Structure 1
Amino acid sequence: MFPSPSLPWFELARFRRSRITRAAVLAVAIVPLFYGALYIWANLDPTGRLDNVQAAVVNEDEMIEVAGQDGEKQPVAVGRELAANLIGDDSRNNYDWLLTDAADARAGLADGTYKAVLTIPKDLSKAATSTSGDPSAAVQGRLDLKTNDAVNFVNGQIADRILDAAKSSLNAQVTETYLGNLYLGFTDIKASLEEAADGAGQLADGAGELTDGANQLSDGTAQLADGATTLADGTRRLATGANQLDDGVGQLAGGLGELEDRTAPLPGQTERLADGAEQVATGVAGFDRIVQQVAGAISGSTDEIDQRLGTLEQSLRDAATTCRESGAPAAQCSDLDAAADSAATARTQLDGLVGQAGTIGEQSAALSRGARQVADGNRELADNVPALVGAIGDAADGADRLRSGTSQLADGADDAATGADRLADGAGQLTDGANQLADGAGALRDGALELQSGLSDGSEQVPDYTEDERDQLAKTAATPVTDAADRLNKVSSYGEGLAPYFMALALWVGAMSIYLLLRPLSARAVASAAGSVRTALAGFVPGAALSLVQAVLLVGVLLGVVGVGASQPWLLLGLAVLTGLVFTAINQTFIAWFGGAGRFLAIVFVCLQLTAAGGTYPIETSPSFFGFLHSLLPMTYAVHGFRAATAGGTEGVAFDAFVLVVFALLALGATALAARRRQRVSITRLHPTLQV
């Protein structure tokens, strides 16, 4: 079954004749080496040499100023920071970025000097800080990246990834700054609420004092009302007596004779009248002092209360403004405005009370002066009555003067009675106002206490972060999700990832080149009496020897010179030898069956294998036709085995080797059939239709 040891070497012996033929054998042996090693070397680590590629940055961003938490203006230049980060990044997987102007960037992109141009617009800083103001004014910034596919298509994909990384870093930094300011605003809100709660407590204390003063005022005005009523009754009686006196004086003037008889008791009566008027004047004066003291007490105590109410109102207004600027819920800010309005209303009511107290004081003073005039008039009357009694002759003249005085007395008494009535009415109104003030002050105190409690509760609910806590929260919220990718059996470079694909292709090209030099079937074996299997093996063994050399050279140079890492180098070598033998057997079959046309079929076959092997992208991304061919072609199993030996993980390698052996056996079987066919002479064989 197997050929004799000398039969396979007859084919190789043909190439010992000259240096050229021996060089041809050597050239065939190193074809896969050049093909595979050069391809893998050229693509070993392209993304690790991006620092040799020039790219341009055009920074048109305009620096702006924004107000910080302390109210001071701070410069913001996001575009300058982004450009500095790109230019200052000297890592090998980043472009060599150069800062230039728009005209130079356009020209460089067109002629290929710059493989990418990033234009930073003039409003990038404005857009990046637009989230700190009016929400309707918030906009997204845009970065303009241009690449030229006419220069290189893959470069555009690489530039997109680099820009995405830079943009993500910039977005995270801007978001972190914004969130840091937001968390700092929480601390300011908490401080404002605590300050407002303290102000509400002071308001409650002041309202309590106001309630006590209003209650005292109510008691005093009640006493004033009682005294004013008594005064009104007395002055009305005084007015009645004065009118009666006036009538009597008229009668006195009409009958002096009768007056002389009846004037004996008049001095005592007028003296008592004077004493009574004096008592009335003294009582009214004392009442006036009480009224003036009460009015002064009201005016004096309300100044401090009014000042505290004004301070509270301003504090509440400031707290409401801070609340709205911090972005807190609108309901909380509205409660602060309502509390400020209540403080303003209390101040207005307090001013009205002061005005009423002043009016009552003025009326009481007028009443006191009228009573004094009455007392003085009565005293003068009492002093003049003895003279009247002693000088009856002058009685008529004195009676006329007395009648004039009593008329004035009657008018003054009427005025005093009217003033006393008004004083009584005013005292009643003052009492009502004092009671309302007391009720309002009590309600204000209750509201202030409730407000203080609400502000304290709200302050406890608002978080207060330290600087370290704000930084940690801002960083976490800016990048809430990070990646933790774990690639099993990871390869170190792009070239190592493509090495299995290029190795399979190189070994196929090497197998094709072998049967450009060797004959698939030895003419000596075909002409001999050897069987078809021995004939097929006699043509396969020389090619297998060259394939072995090809595989050893290819793997040795890749591992030792190019620097491709292999998890299991001996497994890689074994699979390379097996793959070379399988591909050699398949190419022998094509040539053995179809002659020169078999080389064309080998090219077609390798095209199908390359597209269906899944050497670059997953086979699932290819059309279904290639997915169908994927498991039917030998290169699929060769590539999978090479990957396992290179990256690690031997699952499925035994099956790959088994399938490759099956393909080799099938190919050798087909070659044996071709050998049997060649051993039969026919007209077609003697005169082939197509000679290549």
Structure 2
Amino acid sequence: MKNKLFLKEFSAIIKNKKLLIPIIAVMFIPILYSGMFLWAFWDPYDHLDDLPVAIVNEDAGAAFEGNDLHLGDDLVDKLKESKDFNFQFVDKEEAYKDLNDQQYYMLVEIPKDFSKNATTLLEDNPEKMNLIYVPNESYNFLSAQIGGTAVEKIKASLSEKVTETYAETMFDKVGELADGIGQASDGAFQISEGAADLKVGSNTLHEKLALLADKSIEFNNGVSSARKGSEEMSEGAKSLSEGLGKLAEGQSELSKASDQLESGSQKLSAGVTQTKEGIVIVKEKLPVMIDGTEQLENGSKNLSSSLEQWQTEAQKLSGGTALLEQKLQGFISQLPDGSPEKAELQTVLAQLKAGSAQLAESAGKLSAGGAELSKKMGQLNEGQLQLQQGINQLAQGASELEAGSQQLVQGHKDFSAGMQTFAQKFGEAQAGADRLSGGAADLSGGLGKLTQGSAAFADGTKQLEDGAGKVAEGNTQIYEGSSELANKLADGAENASSVNASDKTYNMMANPVEIDNEKITEVPNYGTGFAPYFLSLGLFVGALLLSIVFPLREPAGVPRSGFSWFASKFGILAGIGVIQGLIAAMILLLGLGLEVQSVPLFLLFTIITSLTFIALIQFFVTVMGDPGRFVAIIILILQLTTSAGTFPLELIPNALQPISSYLPMTYSVSGLKAVISSGNFDFMWENTVILLSFAALFIAGTFVYFTAMHKKRFAAAAGQAD
């Protein structure tokens, strides 16, 4: 008796072909809906070779490192061998016309300057190679997206080939750089040898200048002594003049002391003669000394000129060092960061730069010292000329003094002959004494100037000695720095020449990274990936259409209770739901070849999903009638967007994301993904429990409705039947 109403419902379906046929048709709705979609999109990438794509090659080619470069032709040859798309190689005008006429889904144009731009890498403004991709998105948007991915692959392949060419050229340049560094090393060794010679010469120069400084001090002391003697001589001449004056006054006493005066005059004559001879010797030696000073002045000028040239060469050396550093920067930047070779090379360049700068500075100081020395030697020469004039005057006065003294001697001899002759000769002696006093004063003045010049000369030689010491020290640093530079350049040349590149090396630089796609769970095709979504969608649509062809409220007879009414309706719907779920699952397994992790669990979860949707549709349509179907359609629309069957949930609008957790299709899609692809059966059972919770909730609601309606419509009839 308990199954009587259910049998009546079943019998009514069997006897009524208008009801039976639609129900049978509805059983196939899920597979028609999901199966057709999955069949159509099972593996669309397997048919890309049927997708027409236009290729336009306008590349004119270019020359690179003496070789012809035709990247456009190389790309066309590669695409002709490719089966990725149905490539059609046409001219530009025809291609764009057919693209607008929707004969092609996309167009790839290789511009005229494609190969030329590849050769501009080392220019100041390198140009990138442009590959023009023109999709016809209005024809089919997805094909444009697929084409974009394909163009990226073409770009990557071209980039790899061009980078290999660049790498090969770079390694060739490294070889040339190694040769250049070797030559630079040889030149550095030559510089080092020259610096060694320069070091020896500068040390010798410093020693000789030190000796010159010592001798100049002695010369200055001698000139000071001569000046002091000349001053004393001037005072003596003055005293002589005064004495002669007194002698005139003491003429009366002269007769008495004539014998003594004769003896004194003879001694005076001898002394004057000796003085004259000394002055003559000084006069004869002065031109030699003046010539020596002039030669020394000319030598100092030559030295100053040479030092200026040396300063110029030192500045050139500093500039050359900067140029060398600039030339080596390209090589240094290519060395690995943190490498000892790079650090050592940078240190050597810095030391060379500092040493050359210090050499230029020291050369400037030495050049200034040489100019100062030349100036002081000129002053010394002028003082010597003035001294020569004074000596000439002194010699003239000495001659006159000698003549006067001789006359005095003669006068003394003739003194006895008469005082008159003595008086006449005494006047001449007085005049000679005056001239002697003047000459002595001039000699003292000349020697004073000579003293000043010799002091300046001593200061100049001291400065020259100091400058020569700094030059010697700088030359020592140049020698040490150039030696280290030569050794480091030799090491760099050896390291650079040891780089041996091959095709594998070029390929490594062009494509240094390879991606290992290690999938946790592999989905073989689009059909397998979309099966959870379309199967859930088909089962929901099937349940919704079932509510149209099968009466969900009206019983086939008078129900004994609300439970019997509910059981008769739900029993029929559940049976149909199980059947349509099995049909859909089996056709996917056997017809489309869907691979799942567990066939029994896949069938079980499909049945549970179908029953959950049946319970949901039954509740809303039974309780609300046609408005309930509208509510079910709204739920379907929300589930289409929030179930994460196509795009991840995080990619849909934030306002829709919270709705996902309240809709059953979210859990049916997740559970089917687990049982089909991932094999995470624990996660499948979690979703099964949630779906059964949804089903229990809607079943309870439908049961409550039938119980309430039974009390209103059939309670009296059920009592009479009892």
Identify the TM-score tier after normalising by the shorter chain: 0.5 to 0.7
Cα deviation per residue 1:302-323 (whole Å; 9 max; x = unaligned)? Answer: xxxxxxxxxxx9xx99x97995
**In 2 relative to 1, CA 441–88 (structure 1 residues): closer, same or farther, beyond 3 Å?**
farther
Describe the shift of the 1:112–1:468 C-alpha distance in structure 2 as closer, same or farther (beyond 3 A). farther
> Larger deviation: 473-482 or 115-124?
473-482
Pair 1:659-2:652 in alignment: no
Are residues 444 and 189 of structure 1, via their aligned partners in 2, closer, same or farther at CA, if it must alter by over 3 Å? farther
1:149 corresponds, among 124, 137, 144, to: 137
Report deviation, 1:66. 1.6
**How far 1:151 moved relative to its partner?**
0.7
Query: For residue 81 of structure 1, what is the aligned residue in structure 2?
Result: 74
Contact 1:320/1:333 (8 A) holds in 2: no
Matches within 5 A, 1:666-677: 666-677=697-708
Distance 1:19 1:466, change over 3 A: farther
Partner of 1:166: 154
> Are residues 150 and 78 of structure 1, via their aligned partners in 2, closer, same or farther at CA, if it must alter by over 3 Å?
same
Structure 2 unmatched runs, 5+ = 202-316, 334-344, 360-470, 714-722
How far is 1:65 from its partner?
0.4
Tell me what 2:621 maps to: 591
More deviation, 103-112/637-646: 103-112
Q: 1:95 aligns with which of 61, 79, 85?
A: 85
Corresponding residue of 2:383: none
Distance 2:710 2:474 in 1: 123
Decide whether aligned partners of structure 1 residues 207 and 456 sit closer, same or farther in structure 2, where only a CA change above 3 A counts: closer
Structure 2 CA distance for aligned equivalents of residues 622 and 209 of structure 1:
82
How far apart, CA to CA, are the structure 1 residues paired with 2:644 and 2:141?
Answer: 21
Report the counterpart of residue 411 of structure 2 in structure 1.
none
SS at match of 1:24: helix
Q: Which runs of 5+ in 1 are unaligned?
A: 68-72, 214-312, 343-439, 683-692
**Shift in Å at residue 82 of structure 1?**
2.7
Report the TM-score, using the length of structure 1 for normalisation. Answer: 0.61
Amino acid across the alignment from 2:87: W
Kindly report which structure 2 residues correspond to 1:284-433, keeping only aligned pairs within 5 A, or say none: 323=327
Matched residue SS, 2:42? coil
Aligned to 2:174: 186
The answer to whether structure 1 residue 622 and structure 2 residue 652 are counterparts is: yes
CA shift, 1:122, in A, is 1.4
Partners of 1:200 and 1:449 within 8 A in 2: no
**Mean CA deviation greater in 196-205 or 114-123:** 196-205
User: CA separation in 2, counterparts of 1:37 and 1:468?
Assistant: 60
**For 1:65, what is the secondary structure of its paired residue?**
strand
Deviation at 1:573, TM superposition (A): 1.0
AA of the residue aligned to 1:189 = L
Which residues in structure 2 correspond to 1:186-585 (within 5 Å)? 186-201=174-189, 323=327, 451=482, 453-461=484-492, 463-464=495-496, 469=501, 471-524=503-556, 527-528=558-559, 530-585=560-615
Residues 9 and 601 of structure 1, relative CA distance in 2, 3 Å threshold: farther
1:295-347, Cα deviation, whole Å (9 max, x unpaired):
xxxxxxxxxxxxxxxxxx9xx99x979957966679969989x99xx9xxxxx
Query: What's the offset of the Cα at 1:653?
Result: 1.6
Distance 1:465 1:164, change over 3 A: farther
What is the distance in 2 between the residues matched to 1:325 and 1:212?
Answer: 33
Amino acid at match of 2:22: A
Q: Secondary structure at the match of 1:146?
A: strand
Which residue identity does 2:75 align to in structure 1?
L
Structure 1 pair 467–190 and aligned structure 2 pair: CA distance change class (3 A): closer
Task: Calculate percent identity across the aligned residue pairs.
Answer: 25
TM-aligned CA deviation for residue 533 of structure 1: 2.3
Q: 1:116 aligns with which of 106, 110, 116?
A: 106
Amino acid at match of 1:166: I
Amino acid corresponding to residue 74 of structure 1 in structure 2 = N
Q: Given that residues 196 and 479 in structure 2 are in contact (C-alpha distance below 8 angstroms), is that contact kept between their aligned partners in structure 1?
A: no
Aligned to 2:514, the other structure's residue is in SS state coil
The aligned amino acid for 2:685 is A
**Which of 62, 65, 75 pairs up with 1:64?**
62
**Other structure's SS at 1:138 match:** coil
* Structure 1 partner of 2:717: none
CA distance in 2, matches of 1:465, 1:99: 46
Deviation at 1:55, TM superposition (A): 0.5
Q: Separation in 1 of the partners of 2:623 and 2:326?
A: 92
2:45 equivalent in structure 1? 47
CA distance in 1, matches of 2:710, 2:195: 126
Confirm or deny: 8 A CA contact 1:190 1:459 kept in the other structure: no
Give, as a single letter, the amino acid of the residue that structure 2 aligns with 1:551.
G
**Secondary structure at the counterpart of residue 624 of structure 1:** coil
The secondary structure found in structure 2 opposite 1:504 is helix
Q: What is the DSSP-based 3-state SS (H/G/I as helix, E as strand, rest coil) of the residue aligned with 1:544?
A: helix
Question: 2:23: which partner in 1?
Answer: 25
Matched, 1:639 2:629: no
- The yes-or-no answer on 1:129 pairing with 2:123 is no
**Per-residue CA shift, 1:645-682, capped at 9, x if unaligned?**
11122242222111111111111111122213433558
Counterpart of 1:399 in structure 2 is: none
**1:417 corresponds to:** none
Kept in 2, the 8 Å contact 1:521–1:536? The answer is no
Structure 1 range deviating more: 607-616 or 194-203: 194-203
**Does the 8 A contact of 1:500 with 1:639 survive in 2?**
yes
Q: Is the 8 A contact 1:11 1:518 kept in 2?
A: no
TM-superposition CA deviations, 1:197-221 (whole Å, max 9, x none): 33554677799999999xxxxxxxx
Residue 603 of structure 1: CA displacement?
A: 1.4
After TM superposition, give the deviation of residue 47 of structure 1 in Å.
2.2
CA distance in 1, matches of 2:352, 2:160: 36
Cα 1:543–1:466, aligned 2, differ >3 Å: closer, same or farther? Answer: farther
**SS at 1:8's partner residue?**
helix
Question: What CA distance in whole angstroms lies between the structure 1 residues aligned with 2:69 and 2:169?
Answer: 14
Partner Cα separation in structure 2 for residue 182 and residue 484 of structure 1: 29
**Aligned pairs, number:** 484
CA contact (8 A) 2:185 2:489 kept: no
Residues 567-613 of structure 1: CA deviation (Å, up to 9, x unaligned) = 22221111100011111111111221122332222212211222221
Q: Is the 8 A contact 2:189 2:486 kept in 1?
A: no
Q: Distance in 2 between matches of 1:333 and 1:144?
A: 48
Provide the C-alpha distance between the structure 2 equivalents of 1:469 and 1:24, rounded to a whole number of angstroms. 76
Which digits, 9 at most, give the CA deviation of each residue in 1:46-65, with x for residues without a partner?
A: 12321110111111122110
CA spacing shift, 1:569–1:468, aligned 2, 3 Å:
farther
Amino acid at match of 2:107: V
SS at match of 2:519: coil
Distance 1:209 1:489, change over 3 A: closer
Partner secondary structure for residue 132 of structure 1? coil
Cα offsets for 1:150-171 (capped at 9, x unmatched) = 1111112111111112112222
Tell me, in whole angstroms, the C-alpha distance in 1 between the residues paired with 2:472 and 2:711.
128
Are residues 531 and 459 of structure 1, via their aligned partners in 2, closer, same or farther at CA, if it must alter by over 3 Å?
farther
- 1:452 CA displacement: 5.8
Q: Tell me, what secondary structure is at the counterpart of 2:64?
A: strand
Q: CA deviation at 1:76?
A: 1.3
* Deviation readout 1:263-283 (Å, 9 max, x if unpaired): xxxxxxxxxxxxxxxxxxxxx
Distance 1:202 1:681 in 2: 120
